[in-house]
A and B are shown apart, each in its own frame.
Chain A
Amino acid sequence: MTDRADRFLRACRRLPVDATPVWFMRQAGRSLPEYRAIRERATLADIVGDAALCTEVSLQPVDRLGVDAAIVFADITTPLPGAGIAVDLVDGVGPLVDRPIRTVADLDRLHPLEPAVAVGPLLEAIGLIRRASPVPVIGFAGAPFTLASYLVEGRASRRFERTKAMLLGEPALWAALLERLVDLDVAYLRAQVGAGAQAIQLFDSWVGALSPRDYRIAVAPHMRRLFEGLAGLGVPIIHFGTGTTGLLEEMATAGGDVIGLDWRVGLADGWSRVPDRAVQGNLDPAVLLADYAAAEAATDAILDEAGGRPGHIFNLGHGVLPWTDPDHLRRLVDRVHARTARIVVPG
C-alpha cells in the first residue's frame, strides 16, 4: 500500500498513488494563526536564521492542514545575503535589494555561495524537518531569471523593464549574471538535498513575463545547465512559474520532473502541452477567499480534468494568500484525498 508518507514522491514520478497528494505553496505563513503568533516576536530573517524556529514554522501546516509534503520555510532571496547581496524583506512590499545589479562592475559583488556558512541554520532545519515530519520535505530556490529580476530591478516589478533591457540589450552581461545565479542555485540546492530535502521546487515565478523566443534564447540554456548541475541527486524537481501558458513546452524542454501550472491554464490543456511530465496545480488562490463551496467546486473541476491519471499533485496555482482561512485549506485537503482515494497495487 502507498500512504500519506510516499504519495507525493510517487506522484512526482508518475506512479499510481492511494490518493492524489496535496500541498500548498506558501502553506507555512501568514494564513496560519500559529505562524502569526511567532511573527509577533520574530522577523522573517529571524525565523530563517534559527533552525528550531524554522522547523517549527515549516511543520505547522503539516499538522494543521494534513498536507502530503512539508516545504522548508524560507524566501527565494534567502541565499542572496550569503552571496554578497544585502536584501531587506519588507512586509507588504517584498524583497528590496540594497544596491541593484546593473553593470559588469556590479556583478563582482555577487560571490559564490558557501551554503554551510551562508545558510547553515536553514540546512539544519531541513534535517530536523526530515526527522520530525510524517511527509517528505521539499527544498526550493528561486530560478535564475526570477532571482535576476529582483537583483536588477531592486524590488518586485510589474513589467520587468530593467531586467528585459539587460536581457535584450546587454546579452553578455545578462549571461554572466545568469551563470553566477545558476552556480548559486546548484550549490544551494545540492546542499539542501544533502541536508535531507527529498524533492526540489524551482520557483521561476516571474518568467511568464518573457516571450517564448526570449525564454529560449536568454533563459533556457541556463536552466539546462542548472538541471545538469542537479542531475544525479536522485530527487524529483518541480519546475514552476506563473503566466506561463505560452512557455510550458519550453520550460519542460529545459527540465523538470513535475511542471507547475498556474490557474490561468486549464489543467487538462496545460498537461496536454507537457504530456510526458507530472503536473502540479492549479487552483486559483483567490477562490479560497470566497466561501468554501466555491473552492470545493473549483477543486472538483480540477480533479475531473486530471481524471485520475498518475502524476497529478494538487496545489494552488501560486502561493496561499495571507488572509486565506486555514479551515478552507484543511477541508480542501480532505476533499482531494476523499475524492481521489483508490486502492493501489505497489509498483
Chain B
Amino acid sequence: MTGAERFLAGCRGAAVDATPVWFMRQAGGSLPAYLALRKRHSVIEIARDARLCSEVSAGAADALGTDAAIMFADIMLLAEAMGVALELRSDGPHLEHPIRSLADVERLRVVDPAGDLGFILEAIRATRLAVGSSAAVIGLAGGPFTMAAYLIEGGPSRDHAVAKTMLFAAPEVWHALVDRITHATVAYVRAQVAAGAEAIQLFDSWAGSLGPADYDRAVRPWTARVLDAIRDAGVPSIHYAASGAALLERLADGADVVGVDAGQSLAVARARLGPDRAVQGNLDPARLLAGPRAIESGVTAVLEAADGAPGHIFNTGGPIARETSPDALRSIVAMVHDRSAREMAAAAGRHGQEVPS
C-alpha cells in the first residue's frame, strides 16, 4: 500500500498492511529544512506563501516517512480572513480587539475562501503534487469552541473563563458567534477538499474544558454542521479535542475518526466507541522528549492497546513540542510500521487472510 492508501484505509476502518502514522504539528518544528527557512522568513510569511507552505508540509511527511502530510496552517488564519486582526506568537494567537458583544460579532466578514485563503488552497494543490501517493494530504480547521474561545479571550487561556462566561451569560452572543464561525468553517473545509485535501482534521482542542451538558448545548449542533460538510465533500473527518475523555462518544458523533488524547487508555476508548469507529492516537507527546527507552515503551503500549484491530491511526495524543527531535519521530514511524506489519502478517497467517500489499 502507498502511504496515502494506508492512511485513508485506516480512516475507513478497512484492512491495512501496516498501521498508518503521522504526528500532530509534524510540519515545522525542528526539521532542518524548516529551521533553515525560518532564518529568512517568519511563521506567517511561510504560512501565507503557497510555495513555502507546501515545501514545509510536504517536506515534513517526506523527511519523517509519515503516511499523511498535514498542512502547515494555523487554525486562526480563518479568523484573519473573517477580518480579525491578530498576531501569532509562540504561545498562540493574540487579538487586538477580542470579541465581546453582538456588535463585535456582526463586524465579522463572510469569508470567500478562494479570495481570502487562496494561498492555503494553492499550497494544498502543490502539496498533493509534491507528495504524490506517498502520503495523504490533511487539511484542517479549528472547531467551533476553540475558535470562539480564542476570539473571545483574545489570547491563550488556561480556564477559558471569559469565553465560558459569554456562553453561560450571553447565549445569544455566543450562538451568533459560533454560527458565523461555523458558516466560515464550512466554506473553508469545502474549499480545502476541492483543492485536493484528502481528509480534514477538526481541531476542537479546548472543547474538553466543557462539561458534557454544556458541550451539547453550546458546541455540538455547530460541530455537526462542519462534520456533515466534510462528509458531503467526500473525505473522512478526524475530530480531536484535548482532555476529551468525557466527551468521547460526542466527538465520535458524525466524525469518521476520533482523535484520542493521551490522558485516556486507547483500549478503553476503542471499547467505548465500538469496532466501527476509527481512532487516532495516542502517544503522550512528552514521551518524545524523554529518551529512546521512554519512546519505545510508549509506542509498544499504544500498539498493544490498539490490538492490531483495523481503524487505528497512530499519532501523538496532542501536538508535538517544537523541540522534538526529527530522529525520534523517524524512529517511531519505523517502529509502528515494522511492528504492526509483522503482527498483521502473523494474524492473517492465523486466519488465512490476505494482507493488502
Contact = CB atoms under 8 A, between A and B. Distances in A.
A167, A168, A266, A291 pick with most chain B CB within 10 angstroms: A168
Nearest to A283: B211
Interface in A260-300: 263-266, 269-270, 282, 284-287, 289-291, 294-295, 298
A241 to B, nearest CB: 11
A214 B284 contact: yes
B321 A210 contact: no
Given A245-B246, A266-B246, A168 B294 contact: yes
Interface string A162-176: 001101110000000
B168 A264 contact: no
Contacts, number: 120
A21 to B, nearest CB: 21
Contacts of B282: 211
B161 A264 contact: no
B321 A161 contact: yes
A160 interface: yes
A212 interface: yes
B168 A212 contact: no
B208, B211, B243, B262 pick with most chain A CB within 10 angstroms: B211
A161 B262 CA distance: 13
Interface residues of A, number: 40
Interface in B198-240: 208-214
Interface string A235-273: 000000001011100000000000000011110011000
A273 to B, nearest CB: 10
A164 B268 contact: no
Nearest to B260: A246
Nearest to B286: A164
A140 to B, nearest CB: 21
Contact of B290 (A169, A245, A269, A294): A169
B208 A165 contact: no
A301 interface: yes
A336 to B, nearest CB: 17
11 contacts: A158-B158, A211-B317, A212-B268, A246-B245, A266-B212, A266-B213, A286-B159, A287-B168, A289-B164, A317-B211, A321-B159
Interface of A: 158-161, 164-165, 167-169, 208-214, 243, 245-247, 263-266, 269-270, 282, 284-287, 289-291, 294-295, 298, 301, 317, 321
Given A208-B243, A289-B165, A290-B165, 19 more contacts: A159-B318, A159-B321, A161-B286, A168-B286, A208-B263, A209-B263, A214-B284, A243-B208, A245-B243, A245-B246, A245-B263, A246-B245, A264-B243, A266-B246, A286-B164, A290-B167, A294-B169, A317-B211, A321-B161
